[in-house]
Amino acid sequence: MKLRSTSHVKYWCAYHFVWIPKYRRNILVVEVAEYTKEVLKEIAEELGCEVLALEVMPDHVHVFLLCPPRLAPSYIANYLKGKSARKVLQKFPELKSKSKYGKLWTRSYFVATVGNVT
């Protein structure tokens, strides 16, 4: 583990996020899954986070991120889900019909800290 640093902070803030598509439908397959991975990597980079691991399964997403301490886990999750939904639905508009309200993700998510004992 190599600590990250800013001008006044040394940190290792790693998080494991999991979320699912609306109604837990198996819609994250083939091209959609690959595009979702690309989009999530871009968004994480925008936030200043490093992707430690990323897996898009047909009915859920796992993301392990190393993020600056100024970002709250709730902000990270909502930003990732919101921006990725917009981009994925823009590229694959047929996914809107799979949900009653045209939403890609559920409102819920799981987050846990990941790390080493100091």
Q: What percent of the chain has pLDDT over 70?
A: 97
User: In this predicted model, which residue has the larger pLDDT, 96 or 33?
Assistant: 33
Strand locations in 12-109 (E)? 14-19, 50-57, 60-66
Domain ranges of the chain: 22-111
Contact 38, 58 (CB under 8 A): no
What is the pLDDT at residue 25? 94
89 contacts 102 by C-beta, under 8 angstroms = yes
What mean pLDDT, rounded, does the chain reach? 94
- In this structure, whether the domain defined by 22-111 belongs to CATH 3.30.70.1290 is answered with yes
Beta carbons of 42 and 82 less than 8 angstroms apart: no
Least confident range of 2-6, 56-60, 97-101: 97-101
- For the ranges 10-14, 59-63, 85-89, the lowest mean pLDDT is seen at 10-14
N-term to C-term CA, the chain: 11
Number of other CB atoms surrounding residue 111 within 10 Å: 16
